Structure 1
Amino acid sequence: MRPLQALIDTEALRHNYRLACRAAPGSRALAVLKANAYGHGALECARALSDLAPAFGVAAIEEALALREGGITQPIVLLEGFFEPGELELIAAQQLVCVVHSEWQLEALAEARVSAPIAVWLKCDSGMHRLGFTPEAVPDVWRRLNALPAVGECGLMTHFATADQPACALFDRQLTAVAGLRQALGEPPVCWANSPATLSRPTAHGDWVRPGIMLYGADPLTHANDLSSALQPVMTLESRLIAVRELAAGEPVGYGSRFVTERRTRLGVVACGYGDGYDRHAVDGTPVLVDGQRAALAGRVSMDMLIVDITGLPAAGVGSRVTLWGRAPDGTVLPVNEVAACCDTISYTLLTGVTARVPRRPWLRSSS
């Protein structure tokens, strides 16, 4: 009965996926569903995209198996590959696609005896320096991979570190490196572009793009463009006011008395806190919407509650709907990126951090 809920708008998800396809019309779009679809519910999102997306991406085999058990039949790419050689037969049996990024994985594939060849993406570390083989090592690894009985179709993958920035020498170096490798390897299928590159770097699109955060409506670019500005929020974190307080000037509010009223102030208590995933680092003034109108956080976020200044909203009272991020019932949008900036974090952290005690429910557009 607690009023806090995460409303998931699958029509917005489909809109954002189509936007990725429009941004990269010559590519196929791999929909990334890792981390429980960035906190939105992986199986529900996969089902919503099942007639649009030709493939999905997850971090690990557990996530892939949950989709298979839910009836998802499209190819699923394991973006971190396998973690133990013992996974390989299950990967083969489930017809999963595996990223190969390390020598030990290559050796495990060489020793594997599997029931069917495994399609792989060879990961090149073109400059991110997280996972992958160096550009110099890729040709030899490519040759070895293609000679293995356990390996089926091979593609080339990389990950861009700075595609969100409008101009960056590192991005140019990364793209030049993998483009040269693609030519040297005989033009294999490639998957290079993450969300920001999908939206802003058409030279990096290749055969596949892999939209992630953009699917969920958060703009991944440091400078928005026409495409990213058209993204729609998929998650709305919504609660209600459960109490209203009126305080005189000079009164402290919340833990540590960080906020002190400067005038006679009307405050609303919201059923949402860091135990639900709302970031406790949110500063005073962090925006919320109360019945679609802007209000501001007052004081530190508690485990189960937070307080907002509703002095300028005389109609607001107990039961008023509070939008912590997303779209209010009247259509007003509070971008999750704006809230994240007030918490000195990013939208990825807020969305994936919404805890399990917050129910995910479908956004019913007819009632909004």
Structure 2
Amino acid sequence: MRPLIAAIDLSAIRHNYAVAKRCAPGREAFAVVKANAYGHGVREVVSVLHGEADGFAVACLEEAAEVRALDDQTRILLLEGCFEAVEYQLAAQLGLDVVVQGSEQAAALLAAPLSRPLNVWLKLDSGMHRLGFGEDELRHCHARLKGAPQVAELNLISHFACADLRGHELNERQLESFLGLLELDFDRRSLANSAAILTMPAAHMDWVRPGIMLYGASPFADISAHELGLKPAMSLSAKLIAVREVAMGESVGYGATWEAARPSRIGTVSCGYADGYPRHAPSGTPVIVNGQRVPLAGRVSMDMLAVDLTDLPSAVVGDPVELWGAQLPVDELAAACGTIGYELLTKVTARVPRRYLA
């Protein structure tokens, strides 16, 4: 078997959910499990949070159906709403909470013959300008939906654009826009994502939505997950499958972009971009071999990458390699690659076996 594994600590996910709840006392929390629980495995994550999570949030109906099959009671929030009119009937059968983010969705909902009314979340475009109603449009839609036979709860939701940038002026503007609708009769309100849960108590409202924090990564560039009390859930680990001597001046990898500045020992690792490791990771990006940091050497290949073991002369074939995890936070690797932890976690491909730790 190829020596590459994504080990997922389910107890860390439970811990991180508890952190979100402690940060927002008295509030309920939708655990965001879209995109296969950010690459961690939706079935396993939903199962471990069964009976603990107040609800789950997903992006589409297919994801919602998978979660409902695992939990027949908990609330499930459909974050982008229904894309076709017929989907409202299935949403009712599944007992979903549904976001309505535009006039077309509202009209389709009001025209739908449903087996039972839905909990509806009207989405306010408070400043991100991606989805949602403007304030005046939302007031009009609220009047149309309040008391409609298709609607059980009528709730309010919005999403921060810059909550990960503490002190950004848009955060205050978005909060003010959301609070500007307080006089409307909503049953529940939800605004806070992970970053706002951790640093913006005024945004907690009734329901919070922990996403990236659930998986032990930080939403902030300047605060580590460890500092936030979060535990990393995924560790991507491999092994050295070859070690060779390379003379000074010789190159390593595609494009010959890395040249040995001294006689060097080069290790080959059983992980590449087809597994989800970022192809654009530059030479020098840290990798952990036998508990010690060594630098990436040359371009990442589809199935392999190379590391410079010159300063680790004891390393041999079969030694363990951590690409990210407890010793190397995924956020640090992401920063070295000019991206974010979200992307790395969600891009671990299906060919990487997941091993679950209780």
Q: Is the 8 A contact 1:270 1:322 kept in 2?
A: yes
Alignment of 1:50-199 (within 5 A): 50-181=50-181, 183-186=182-185, 188-199=187-198
Could you say if the C-alpha distance between residues 231 and 278 of structure 1 is closer, same or farther in structure 2, counting changes exceeding 3 Å?
same
Could you say if the C-alpha distance between residues 19 and 227 of structure 1 is closer, same or farther in structure 2, counting changes exceeding 3 Å?
farther
- For residues 352 and 288 of structure 2, the distance between their equivalents in structure 1, rounded to whole angstroms, comes to 19
TM-score when scaled to structure 1? Answer: 0.95
Q: Is the 8 A contact 2:159 2:191 kept in 1?
A: yes
Q: What SS is found at the alignment partner of 2:230? A: coil
1:110 Cα shift? 1.2
Match of 1:252 in 2: 251
1:224 Cα shift? 1.6
1:228 Cα shift? 5.1
- For residues 224 and 332 of structure 2, the distance between their equivalents in structure 1, rounded to whole angstroms, comes to 17
Is residue 355 from structure 1 mapped to residue 349 from structure 2 by the alignment? yes
Q: Is the 8 A contact 2:59 2:78 kept in 1?
A: yes
Q: Is the 8 A contact 1:166 1:222 kept in 2?
A: no
Could you give the per-residue CA deviations for residues 269-315 of structure 1, whole angstroms, max 9, x where no partner exists?
00000011111000011111112111110000000000011111122
1:225 Cα shift? 7.4
Cα RMSD (Å): 1.3
Q: Is the 8 A contact 1:241 1:319 kept in 2?
A: yes
Q: Percent identity?
A: 53
Match of 1:21 in 2: 21
- For residues 83 and 11 of structure 1, the distance between their equivalents in structure 2, rounded to whole angstroms, comes to 35
1:59 Cα shift? 0.3
Q: Is the 8 A contact 1:244 1:269 kept in 2?
A: yes
1:222 Cα shift? 3.0
- For residues 96 and 162 of structure 1, the distance between their equivalents in structure 2, rounded to whole angstroms, comes to 28
Is residue 267 from structure 1 mapped to residue 266 from structure 2 by the alignment? yes
Alignment length (residue pairs): 358
TM-score when scaled to structure 2? Answer: 0.97
Match of 2:311 in 1: 312
- For residues 118 and 149 of structure 1, the distance between their equivalents in structure 2, rounded to whole angstroms, comes to 9
- For residues 282 and 324 of structure 1, the distance between their equivalents in structure 2, rounded to whole angstroms, comes to 12
Q: What SS is found at the alignment partner of 1:125? A: coil
- For residues 120 and 252 of structure 1, the distance between their equivalents in structure 2, rounded to whole angstroms, comes to 59
Q: Is the 8 A contact 1:121 1:156 kept in 2?
A: yes
1:267 Cα shift? 1.1
Q: Which moved more, 1:145-154 or 1:241-250?
A: 145-154
Q: Which moved more, 1:223-232 or 1:296-305?
A: 223-232
- For residues 245 and 317 of structure 2, the distance between their equivalents in structure 1, rounded to whole angstroms, comes to 13
Q: Which amino acid aligns with 1:357?
A: R
Q: Which amino acid aligns with 1:189?
A: R
- For residues 27 and 73 of structure 2, the distance between their equivalents in structure 1, rounded to whole angstroms, comes to 21
Q: Which amino acid aligns with 1:60?
A: C
Q: Which amino acid aligns with 1:344?
A: G
1:339 to 333, 342, 355: 333
Q: What SS is found at the alignment partner of 2:77? A: strand
Could you give the per-residue CA deviations for residues 96-133 of structure 1, whole angstroms, max 9, x where no partner exists?
11000010111011111111001111100000000000
- For residues 206 and 108 of structure 2, the distance between their equivalents in structure 1, rounded to whole angstroms, comes to 28
Could you say if the C-alpha distance between residues 264 and 314 of structure 1 is closer, same or farther in structure 2, counting changes exceeding 3 Å?
same
Q: What SS is found at the alignment partner of 1:136? A: helix
- For residues 247 and 224 of structure 1, the distance between their equivalents in structure 2, rounded to whole angstroms, comes to 39
Could you say if the C-alpha distance between residues 225 and 283 of structure 1 is closer, same or farther in structure 2, counting changes exceeding 3 Å?
closer
- For residues 71 and 185 of structure 1, the distance between their equivalents in structure 2, rounded to whole angstroms, comes to 32
Q: Is the 8 A contact 1:166 1:223 kept in 2?
A: no
Q: Which amino acid aligns with 1:352?
A: T
Could you give the per-residue CA deviations for residues 213-249 of structure 1, whole angstroms, max 9, x where no partner exists?
1101110023327985311110101100000011111
- For residues 184 and 174 of structure 2, the distance between their equivalents in structure 1, rounded to whole angstroms, comes to 17
1:188 Cα shift? 3.5
1:71 Cα shift? 4.1
Q: Is the 8 A contact 1:165 1:223 kept in 2?
A: no
Match of 1:278 in 2: 277
Q: Is the 8 A contact 2:60 2:82 kept in 1?
A: yes
1:81 Cα shift? 0.5
1:189 Cα shift? 1.3
